[in-house]
């Protein structure tokens, strides 16, 4: 079973701080990596995707990928209470289109 591991949290950060979410994966053949955000009672929505080693920035969000260490992270700068949600790390399965998800990290941004 190919694994995607995340710390379940909850991760609590004050408003305006940087939130750092981490994910490790076991399948060295994985090529595509995704971060989804899921609010309670809602469906997952894509925040970021990354395919190459290094950093990818989109507004307040930065995804970081290190394939040698099999590690992907998501940084949220200037965290807002509206960022409070569960963040799901996902990795493509068997070099295909289907995804393996981690169990998610719960983030709480306190005013």
Site residues for other proteins per CB under 8 A: 1, 31-32, 34, 42-46, 49, 51, 88, 90, 92-93, 95-104
Question: Residue 97 and residue 60: Cα distance in Å, rounded?
Answer: 27
| Nearer CB in complex with other proteins: 45/78 | 45
Tokens 């493509």 sit on residue: 92
Question: Residue 11 and residue 7: Cα distance in Å, rounded?
Answer: 9
User: If DSSP codes are grouped into helix, strand and coil, which group holds residue 73?
Assistant: strand
CB of residue 94 to other proteins, shortest distance in Å: 10
Structure tokens at 106: 């719960």
Question: Residue 18 and residue 107: Cα distance in Å, rounded?
Answer: 11
| Nearer CB in complex with other proteins: 18/46 | 46
CB of residue 31 to other proteins, shortest distance in Å: 6
| Nearer CB in complex with other proteins: 17/49 | 49
CB of residue 70 to other proteins, shortest distance in Å: 17
């Amino acid at each position: 079973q190919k694994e995607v591991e995340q710390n379940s949290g909850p991760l609590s950060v004050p408003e305006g701080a940087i939130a750092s979410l981490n994910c490790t994966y076991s399948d060295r053949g994985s090529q595509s990596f995704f971060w989804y955000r899921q609010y309670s009672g809602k469906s997952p929505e894509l925040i970021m995707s990354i395919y190459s080693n290094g950093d990818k920035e989109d507004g307040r969000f930065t995804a970081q990928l290190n394939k040698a260490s099999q590690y992907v992270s998501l940084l949220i700068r200037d965290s807002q209470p509206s960022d409070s949600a569960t963040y799901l790390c996902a990795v493509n399965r068997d070099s295909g289109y289907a995804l393996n998800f981690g169990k998610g990290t719960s983030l709480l941004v306190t005013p």
